[in-house]
Structure 1
Amino acid sequence: MDSSQSVARGASQFKIAVVGGGLGGLTLASVLQHSYKIECIVFELDDTVDSRNQGGSLDLHVESGQLALEKAGLTDQFRKHARYQGQDIVLADMTGKILMQHVGSEGPTGGELDRPEIDRTVLRQMLIDSLDEDTIQWGKKVIKIEEESKDKENGNHRHTLTFQDGRTGTFDLVVGGDGAWSKIRKFVSETTPSYAGVTFIECRLSNVDIDHPKASKMVGNGTFWGLQNNKGLLCQRNGDGSIRVYVTLRIEENGLSHLDFSNPEIPRKHLMDIFSDWDDSLKALIEESSAFIPRGIYMLPTDYTWKSHPGVTLIGDAAHLMTPFAGEGANMAMLDGANLAAAISEIVHNGKDLATTIEKFEKDMHNVVMDFAIESLENMDTLISENGPQAVLKMFSMMRDDNAAP
């Protein structure tokens, strides 16, 4: 048995490699198995399911993330964990004055504003649990992808992946779901993400109802935005009783590289100085937080495309990395996974041509995503601005007017 056979065991005759076990790749695998009875293998860089923190909470939209879960047969599971009260939004300025309070629905509405929160860790585990055993191979880092020239001569488009452990596997379709700095993207395009001009410093308050009651009351059930002067304190309540705080600064790339983040007191002091003129109730979100993690915000061009390459495609952040200010990144990745699964079914079950089917999928994905990428960038410039609170109030007023229009 050669190495490609041993890596690809359990896959269907049409061998599919999904590089990256994020939400997009896992959704693809789950929909393939549940809706179309097609096997694939997911190669995940992490050694285990809990190798690293998966991040905070996200809102799943009816027309994208929730639709993808429906195609994976996971709607009931999702409803068990969805936090509809997490749709609440509170807006304040630097003085701590509350300028807006939006209360979300208490249950499913089915409309465009049906966007309950769910913790990323919970959602990812739901998808993992839905997969056949051995679908995911953990600790598999791709170091090279090569086209099989002999297959190309026969009209096939197979590619061989080489992994860090020295093993290889050859596949009919390789899907790059490997995130912002995708190794697979480099095979089809030279474009790389660029810094968007804003940096997050992620912090966390745990057991907030008991240990941080004032912050718990201020943030409420969902999202809290404290904004002004090109700065922000963007907070979200998570399902585990914690609050994640994203201290947001419009600074140059690597503008915090001089700080030693291994010692929390150093970034804490730096941030307390930056927010020194903000109300004490807001500064407490920094003062009472534990570890501080800097996260520069990067993006691909909003109109990014690549020349379609038969046998290789991209989904999620690998295909359309955008800023996180529209809540669309994860939703689009999951929709990509569901839509690509449908396209693969056309190839496997209905004999459709691989190259033209994948190219159509890519064009359709681009057409859906581009407006959201633009919206996300515009939202970032609205929130993180000199007069952020007033700009956000105007934005929500326009949204209400649009929803009221016939």
Structure 2
Amino acid sequence: MTIAIIGAGPGGLALARVLHVHGLEAVVYEREPSRDARGQGGMLDIHSGQRALREAGLLEEFFAIARGEGQDMRLLEPDGTLLLQEDTPDDAPLDRPEVDRADLRALLLDSLPEGTVRWGYAYRSAGDGVVHFADGRSTRYDLLVGADGAQSRVRALLTDARPEHLGQNSVEIGIPDIDRTHPDLSAMVGRGNYWVFGDGISLAAQRNGDGRVRIGINFFNTGEDWFATSGIPFDDPAAARARLIELLPGWHPRVTALIEACDDVVVPRPLTTLPVGLTWPSRPDVTLIGDAAHLMPPVGQGANQALLDGAFLALALAAHPDDIPAAVEEYEREMFERTGAAARMSADMQELLMSPDAARRLLEFFQPG
């Protein structure tokens, strides 16, 4: 079979790797010009996705790059009140370790035969067993797999569903080399996740393996046009930082000091999701994995489900090497049930985060009874 995978994210690479383990080859077509063309973002909390890495024969290598201390958590109110602090013992099991996206991607890329990933191939269209790329190149396929993320273009072959605004807009900022540049703030954030929840606004700071602390300031119950009316001048980083602090009235100066210490990378991120429980009639030659299939709120499920999608689709194809339609149907039945449940759970957690008393509800969630 000729399998064309569109997108070299965790799901697409996991699919290619598990296929390779079972003696089946695929080609991954990625629009980025090279593996180092752009940064890969922050940390991932990998839990259920470890099953996929086991199927890929990479679990031990994953544990070698994972950060158990990334499971640490501090939860505060805007006035600086510490509600919860959990520090992970050094000998704790790696049930939910954090891993840099770039490190996970490198692990998967390096596990594939040379030439499996073709860089600089931007998907344009597909049909009748041929996929066409933006530069005029094309290739044939028996199975086309859309692993091309939230704004998937392959998705249109299967469903008219499109991502809808979640009612949340985030601003991403960060402090590079925080141990050296701001040791006091480094100690405050700790080794893992630092969360502050107020009424309709949260700040989440997360330490990355490269020493950078990535910070997301989330504005809940806001519309698609919120950035246009927020007064945040994204073309002027210093003024943008000042405006962000203005939008946090009454927050403790120790918390807003994280914003003052950030560098000039200030990125607006409107958040979108696909409908919970999205399905489509199965086609024998096209399917979707990851965010292309089930874009969820960013509460810790997306990357795990993408890894599982890739592994389970590969296992279905390995079990039915002469019957791609049967393999696709088997994969989609399992995927729809599994990711539907994950999406509902994610939606419930998102509802909690958007509530006025999110900090206290989170405390009850982490410390029931």
TM-score normalised by the chain length of structure 2: 0.96
- 1:224 maps to what in 2? 194
- Following TM superposition, by how much is the alpha carbon of 1:105 offset from its aligned partner in structure 2, in angstroms? 4.4
2:146 & 2:42 partners in 1: Cα distance? 23
Q: How does 1:290-369 map to 2 (within 5 A)?
A: 290=263, 291-325=265-299, 327-348=300-321, 351=322, 353-369=323-339
- 1:104 maps to what in 2? 88
2:210 & 2:14 partners in 1: Cα distance? 23
2:73 & 2:178 partners in 1: Cα distance? 18
Runs of 4+ in 1 over 2 A off after TM superposition: 103-110, 257-260
1:115 counterpart SS class: coil
Match of 2:223 among 240, 247, 252: 252
Match of 2:24 among 26, 38, 50: 38
Q: Tell me the amino acid that sits aligned with residue 244 of structure 2.
A: L
Q: Tell me the amino acid that sits aligned with residue 55 of structure 1.
A: G
1:89 & 1:164 partners in 2: Cα distance? 44
- Following TM superposition, by how much is the alpha carbon of 1:118 offset from its aligned partner in structure 2, in angstroms? 0.7
- 1:65 maps to what in 2? 49
Match of 2:109 among 106, 112, 128: 128
> Is 1:276–2:258 an aligned residue pair?
no
**Which of these two proteins has the greater Rg computed from alpha carbons?**
1
1:239 counterpart SS class: coil
2:320 counterpart SS class: helix
Q: Tell me the amino acid that sits aligned with residue 39 of structure 2.
A: N
Residue by residue over 1:339-367, the C-alpha shift from the partner in whole angstroms, topping out at 9 and shown as x without a partner, is 0000111222xx3x322321121111111
Q: Tell me the amino acid that sits aligned with residue 6 of structure 2.
A: V
Residue by residue over 1:287-342, the C-alpha shift from the partner in whole angstroms, topping out at 9 and shown as x without a partner, is 111211111111001111111111100000000000111x1100110011000000
1:169 counterpart SS class: strand
2:227 counterpart SS class: coil
- 2:160 maps to what in 1? 190
- Following TM superposition, by how much is the alpha carbon of 1:133 offset from its aligned partner in structure 2, in angstroms? 0.3
Match of 2:14 among 1, 15, 27: 27
Identity across aligned pairs (percent)?
39
- Following TM superposition, by how much is the alpha carbon of 1:140 offset from its aligned partner in structure 2, in angstroms? 0.3
1:199 & 1:80 partners in 2: Cα distance? 34
TM-score normalised by the chain length of structure 1: 0.87
- Residue pair 1:232, 1:384 contacting (<8 A) in 2 also: no
**CA pair 108-177 structure 1, distance change in 2 beyond 3 A:** farther
- 1:50 maps to what in 2? 36
2:193 & 2:32 partners in 1: Cα distance? 30
Counting matched residue pairs gives 365
Q: Tell me the amino acid that sits aligned with residue 231 of structure 1.
A: I
Please list every run of 5 or more consecutive structure 2 residues that lacks an aligned counterpart in the other structure: none
Please list every run of 5 or more consecutive structure 1 residues that lacks an aligned counterpart in the other structure: 1-13, 149-158, 402-406
- 1:397 maps to what in 2? 367
